[in-house]
Structure 1
Amino acid sequence: MLRARGNGARRDEAVEQLHAKNDRLHKEFRLGSWSRYDYDMTTGRLLFSKDGAVKVITEIQIAGSTSAKADNWLWAWANSNLPDDLLTDAKLVRSFGEKNSIDALAQAYVTDADNDLEALGWELTGAMVRICDALGAYRSPRGEGGALYLIFKSVSWAG
């Protein structure tokens, strides 16, 4: 298991770019303000809705997940419970990490030296957004203090 070290300039830059992309999506599509969201692992979509009506449709890939119980990040490509169709970009990140000797991108599990799993999740997801030129990302809370991190490949209004 790899232990991530501090915040390097590259990580900070990737997170800043991710925040800028997510801010644009919030302004343009009001992402983060809809009363409901549902992800469908069979279609690879994350749907945002209000009052039972779908408002925004996104195509997603899965970055990875954090677990407070295990106190780590698990890359999606290393999680056998996830559908292979939604792991294409995560596998690209793994290859990038292997080619460039970036252990945090190439090893299945990553822990955070600062014990801040949410920050770690956003940092690694930010790296994936940057490497795969995604439009932004979303964090879906999960039980026991963990979260599932998704990246957006496309975003459009429903209808």
Structure 2
Amino acid sequence: MQPDWYPAWRDEAFEQLTAKNARLAKDFRLGSWSRYDYDLTTGKLVFSDQSGVKVVSEIQIAGSTSAKAGNWLWAWANSNLPGNLLGDAKLVRAFGEEKAIDNLARAYVDDTGGDLEALGWELTAAMVRVCNALGAYRSPRGEGGALYLVFKSVRWAN
């Protein structure tokens, strides 16, 4: 269930995320660093090269995809994730409940379109839009799934 305006809103959110991520790639060379590491204890995602850390960001967790299950799991519904990184995801849940958008309000979203990565980016884009985040990052995980993170701040390391 979703309101009539949601598909256009969702598409705009994805376009906005694409533009935000392009800006991060231009300004901080995200996507070109040889290494990235995230720490869910500190809520940081860092990008490095052989000489060390270059870019530091503060993150929130949007959710994850599972190729095995064929679905998305919102971060707020994953008891394995630290609560301090779930605030934005909880805001999306509240937005989804208020506006009657099932894909934003329920824990699992099935991949009915046959493109799990597209589903992950679509739902992450909704979170970026609702929470006015700076962009997002997809970290591949085992079994064809991924963890989707949103940027709250991004800065040069030094």
Q: 2: distance between equivalents of 1:118 and 1:11?
A: 15
Gaps of 5+ in 2: none
| Number of equivalent positions | 154
Q: Which amino acid is the alignment partner of residue 86 of structure 1?
A: L
1:102 aligns with 2:109: no
Q: 1: distance between equivalents of 2:124 and 2:113?
A: 17
Identity of aligned residues (%): 75
Q: 2: distance between equivalents of 1:113 and 1:8?
A: 15
Alignment of 1:1-159 (within 5 A): 8-159=7-158
Gaps of 5+ in 1: none
Q: How much does 1:52 deviate?
A: 4.6
Q: Which amino acid is the alignment partner of residue 149 of structure 1?
A: Y
Q: 2: distance between equivalents of 1:94 and 1:154?
A: 22
The runs of 4+ residues in structure 1 deviating greater than 6 Å are: none
Q: How much does 1:9 deviate?
A: 1.4
Q: 2: distance between equivalents of 1:92 and 1:45?
A: 20
TM-score relative to the length of structure 2: 0.95
Residue deviations 1:58-106, cap 9 Å, x none? 0000000000000000000000000000000000000010111011000
Residue deviations 1:6-27, cap 9 Å, x none? x921211110000000000000
Q: 1: distance between equivalents of 2:101 and 2:27?
A: 34
CA-atom RMSD in angstroms: 1.2
Q: Which amino acid is the alignment partner of residue 100 of structure 1?
A: K
SS at match of 1:61: strand
Q: How much does 1:112 deviate?
A: 2.3
Q: How much does 1:115 deviate?
A: 1.2
